[in-house]
Structures are given as C-alpha cells and as structure tokens.
Structure 1
Amino acid sequence: MIDVETTGLSPERGDRVVEIGVVYVSDHGEIQDHWSTVINPQRDVGPTRIHGLTATDVASAPTFPELAPYVLRAMRGRTTVAHNATFDLRFLAAEFMRSGVTLKDLPLSGVCTMQWSTAYLNASSRRLVDCCRASGVSLTSAHSAGADAMATAQLLGHYLKSSNYAPPWHEAAVETRAYPWPPFSGEYPELRMVRRSEARAVRSDQWLDRIVSKMPRAADARVDSYLATLEMAMTDGFLAEHEKDELVAVAVDAGLTRGLVLDLHADYLRAMAEVALEDDVVTSDERVEMDRVASMLGLRHTDVEAALEGALRAGRGRHGSSDALQNSGITLRSGDRVVFTGDMVRERGHWEELARRRGLDPGGVTKKTKVVVAADPNSLSGKAAKARTYGIPIITEGAFDRLLAEMPHA
C-alpha cells in the first residue's frame, strides 16, 4: 500500500514527491507493518494548502534517491495498491528514473481502490475520505501520506472481506507482483525518517469540499483519474496556467478527447450548481463564482444556466440525492443486461417489466451485466457478491429509475 503527497499534478513537468507512506498488508487485509516520511523535493513544496507541508518541514528530510532502495524493497514481489493508483505510480516512476533506477516497463501497474469503490461502496464521491466514511474506516489526517496509506489499507481490507477474500483483481495482482524491478546491489543508506508536524492543519474550505463530494463517479477508471486530478487543482477555486497545462498532460496521457474533457468540466459545474441550490437560492456571489469557474474550465455563461436548470429539473439542491451523480458515466442502452436483488420498494416483477419495455434484458449476473439494482447497495446477496467480483456497479432503485429516464430513445 503506497501513498504520496506531491508538489503539484505532473511529474513530467517537474513536480516531485514530498511525502511517502507505505503499509504492508496480508492477503487477508491484516496490517503487518508501516512507515512514512517527509521527503526533501529539492525545490519548492508546492500547494501547502493541500498537503500541509512547508519548506521548513522538508529542509532536513531525506531525498528520494536516499529512500529509493527502501521503496524498491517495499514494492518488489508485492501487489502495489493505492487510491488513484495512476497518479501515485506516475510520480513513483518519475522519482525512480531521476534516482538512476532504470524501469523497463511503463506505466507501472497496480490495484486502485478508487477504481473498485463503485463495486464495493455506496460513497458520495471517489475521494478517499468519502470512501472511508462509507466503509466505516477512520481517516483523521487526510492528505498526509502515512494516514492516507493506512486508511487505504483498511479500505482494501473492507473490499477483501466483501469479496470473501477472492477479489476480482487477480490478474492485476499477478502482473504487479511479477514486475521486473532492477536489483539493488549497493549498500543501503541510513534510513532517516522525518515525520510531519502534528500541529499543522491543512486548510479546509467547506464550499469547495461540498462541491468535490458531489462530483460524479465515472464508470471509466481513466475518467475518474482525471476528475481526481481536477479536484486537487480546484482546491483553491482557481486554475493557474501551469495547472491547466498539467491537466492537459493528464488528459492526453489518459487518452481523453477534448469533448469528453469539456463534459467532465460541465459535471464539475453541475456539482457547483447542486451546492448553490442546497438552500434553494443562488446568491449573486455564488453566481459570480460559477461564472468565474466556468470561464477557467473553458465553458460559457450559457453552460452555467444549463447547470442550474439541470439541477432544478433533476430535483437536486436541498432535497437532492447523490444517486444520480454517483452513477454518472453509466448509460443504459437497449439490449443491456440488468439484474435486480433484495426486498425492493417496488415489486421486482414491476421493475423487470419496465426494463423489458425499454429493451433491457433482466436476468442473472454475468460479466456483461451493466448494473445490479439492489434494495441496499451494500447488500451481501449472492448476486451483489458476484457483481463485485466482476466490478459491476451496484445502484439503488432511485438511481435505476433515473437511468431509465435518461435512456436514449431508439
């Protein structure tokens, strides 16, 4: 289990790791050992508002080259797990290369607890803190590498238990365990660990925090990775030019089209609209803020109107539900297999009949099933357990009803 805090969003543009946390976990989710340390990035520390570290904190910390042999030893022969693994592994690969460690196969692979959260959790967003809250895991110091790694380890334990310790990421586990890490033949340097100041707190912004919590979850792991990066960039409500460039680099690396990126930015704007409408009133300050953010995201004034109107039409705001957002990225089409499980509010036969009328195929769980509709998304039923094994989203009746309404007409 690995987590890193960084000076920015893009290792390709010179951003560095400023803190690393490592937790060793057994195949049954038992925490065996852990360590973490602040790292001297040999440059400015970047967004202190996010990770809470200052130049003073890192001045006497070890550099990554000093730690590289220990990080190699931690990863060799083990399954690498992280929350938004794409982000962490890109930074680790770049740090290894800067340290003179030659890597043959890139990108590095691993198991991503953010990617699998849709199969195991009914969380309000993809963020680690929200996934932890949904699974009953305690996370008291978000954005510190040690605490985040420990929370991710416990989140993994929740997934393992839910899958009866036969998780569906077997192929990814085999691949990452077999990675051809280069041998280290020299003497291990003295392992110095510098802990962050416990007294310093990361700044919290309730308005932005609520927006991030309402950001949609996507069915595509690449999209989720981009949205997670966008969330970090927007923590201060402002996109600097270098952050825009970094987001472009992340989008290109993920193979996202310009149209899809603009759609994702529109999702962010819709999340803002939900927050603004929580009290059923959009103040002039909130409207100015939405117009400003829309401009930064490459959207127009009319897109703000559309976001607000869409939030009102969907019955969001104070009485809204996270279900519709939670299933963003899922579109039902004629011929899709859907499965129903549990003691539902409506008769199961009624749901199955509605599904057939729309050209859907109610039946049992297969690898091609699009969604499982459950009375309780945390259901431990056989159908739900099988769906988690295949990584199939499990949604509520309300969410399914909205997906039916949004189905494209033939």
Structure 2
Amino acid sequence: MTSDPIPELAKHQFAILSIETTGISPQHGDQLVEIAIHTVNWNGEILDCYETLVHPGKDISGFQIHGITDDMVKNAPSIEEVIPDILSRINGKTLVAHDLDFVLSFLKPAIEAQASVLIGICTLKLMNKVAPESGLRRLEQICTYFDIDISIHHSAKADSLATAKLFSILKNLYLQQFDLDVFLKDLLTIIQVNNCPVQRNLYMKRSEAKNIANIQKTKLYNVLNRLTSSSGDTIPIKQYLNVLDRALADRILTEREIISLVDLAENYRLSKKQVIEIHQEYLRKLIRIYLLDEILTSSEMDDLYLVAELLCILPKELKLLIEYEKTKIPITTPGYQKQLKSLAGKSVCFSGHLSSKINGEKIDRELAQQLVKERGLLVKRVVSKNVDYLVVALAEKFSAKGRKNRKAIEYHVNVIEEKIFWEMIGVQVDD
C-alpha cells in the first residue's frame, strides 16, 4: 500500500463467497453442492457474479433446507471442473464470507495448493467486533437486524449478495470505530493464486437445473432415449412435422401421440439428435410466424415456452432460437400499417408454385398462408366470386389454363403478380 491508501482502495476488490453443502462436516464426507461469488469494489458496487451447482459425487441429504435435489445436480459440473472459475475470481482479491472458516473448510482441499494464503474477512467475526451487543450469529438474523432483504433463503447466490451488502455496512461501522490503518493491517489480505487458470465460465444455475430435471421426467424425453444414436439414410422432416402439427394443435401431448411420434422416428431410423433438430425446426418456424410483426407478445412467449417444454427444448435453447430469428433481416416492410388496414378482410387465392424467397428460403404454401393471415387477409382454397386477389408467379405468363385461372377470368378477379402482392401487404422478399 502507498502512504495514501485511498486511491489504491478504490481499485481494490473483494470476492464474496457463499456455499450450500450436503452437510456440515467435510471431514465426514460432506460435499459442496452450490457456490456463488460476487465480486465487489471498495464502494460495494457489484462487478461480477458467478454461481453454479456442483455435483457432489454422492447422494444429497438435507435438500429440504436448500432445495437442491439429486436430479438438479445430475448434469452439474464437479468441483474439479469449476476450480478454474473459482481461482480466477478470488485471485488478487480479499475473500469475504459469513462464517469464513466453514466456507474454507469445503474449499481448501480443492484450491489451497494454488493459493498462497486462504484467509480473509469473516462477516460473523466482524459483526461481533462492531456490534457485540446484538448477540446475533446467523446471516438471516443479522440481515434482518440491518434491514437487508434475502430474496431466497439458503441459496448461494442470494446469500452471497446479502453478505456483500452486510459487509459494506459492517466495513463502514468498523471504520467509524477504528482507524483505516487498522483495517488495512488486520483485515485486508490479498489472495494470490499461483499459475492462475483462465476462467472457463462453466456453470449450471438452479433455474436451468430445474428445467432440465422437469424435461427429463416427461414421457417424451423417456421414449426419445429409446432411439438409436446412428442416423438413417432418409430424414422425413415434413412427415414428422405434419404429425407434430396434429399432436400439438391442442398444446397437449397424449401418451398415444408420443408413441406415434416415436414409432415414426423408429420406422425411419431417426436418431435422438435428429428428432431434437426437427423439434427445434418446428419451434423456429413458430417463432418466425410470431415475429412477423417484429413483436413477441406475452401470450406468444407463453405459447413458445409451452411448446418448447413439450418438445424437450430448454428455455435457454429457446432464447437462442429467438435471438437468431431476431437477427435476421426484418420480414415486414415498415410503413404499411395504414395500407394493411384497408386490406383487412380481403380474400386471397394462390395459383401455381410460389417463387419468392425470404432470407434465401423459398416461401412455401404454409408460410404464405401464415403471412397473409397475420396481416388480416383471408386465404381461399378455390376461386369464387368472393375472392379479391388471385396471386400468380408471373402476371405476364398468366393464361386461361387451369381451373383457378379460368374462374378468375370468369369472375373478374384481380390477378396480381406474387412479388407485387408481397410488397402490397408489406412482406419484404429477396430481390
């Protein structure tokens, strides 16, 4: 430290640790099941937050306290796998924890070989020093005493955040009673990690673990595991999607529907990976339809989450699919709201094959109908007196060949070229 420590203290950082475990004694085999580290500066501002469940390598006891079950940690990283993330986040900082000795008793075996010292600031001891009259020990009690809210009790992340706030208060109380030099000498110990590893950012949060556990309990997930790991020669995407459309029409997958889907997959020797990819394609199309107006409403998001869960797709994977679709070129041409209002209720019939593309993908009949319906127009299968527009690929090649074309001439239906029609209803297609 320099003679004037204030500028240096402004740069100093603290690593606030909190853990959840299978029990109270690492000497008797208890293990870590969750860890959270908040990095804060001298002013208490949060600079980084890391949290993850940890696979303990044994069955979990005491889950009634912290709510972490065996199913939740089944896919979580081991302590050895998260050591780089722990070491990189405590390196060059001062450790802070409530009952630091307890926390370090679980961490020492894994990290002490690479850390020069493993000491720091214990908020329990600091509390006894600045407010001995309170007689409080537990984190929840002390936080209540100082009016600090803990959003979720016995959650490493929530406890770490609460400890960070508590430390800021206790530090200020300490400095009111003792000199800054005393604080620097007695409490400010910087951890130095030898050959500090690079952060891997390997983690599994509680919410993700619960989602995975819920999906793994579904009937569809169980039967998907019956599928082969090797791929077949043909992939009947349309056939599978058609069955999926019928099954998901009511947003319920019955046991019979699940068996039908898996039977179809087995008949074509689809692997589990291929089926999941088809499920993602189904969800991607649904996202694309909902994004036609460039807005995802709350009801649309609810439906996407429901469909994703039914198809064994995790929320984080759904978010990635949504972000991917959002980054594509907008489908709707701006400034057509007034024109679309005048077209609302008009009827459209398509003749022949469609040729236009959106973002390099050809518009099929299914997408064409969705594009039209989203804009308030009606789709007709056949041409009648009630049809307002007959859409054709090229107007200059329009002839009386074909039943639809003859009916359009007979009923004086407006014949419009496909590309002009898309422009008219505000759909941006490729040049």
Sort the TM-score into its range (normalised by shorter chain). 0.3 to 0.5
Q: Choose between structure 1 and 2 for higher RCO, CA contacts under 8 A separated by at least 6 residues.
A: 1
Instruction: Point out the structure with max Rg over C-alpha.
Output: 2
The alignment's TM-score, normalised by the length of structure 2, stands at 0.41
TM-score with structure 1 setting the length: 0.43
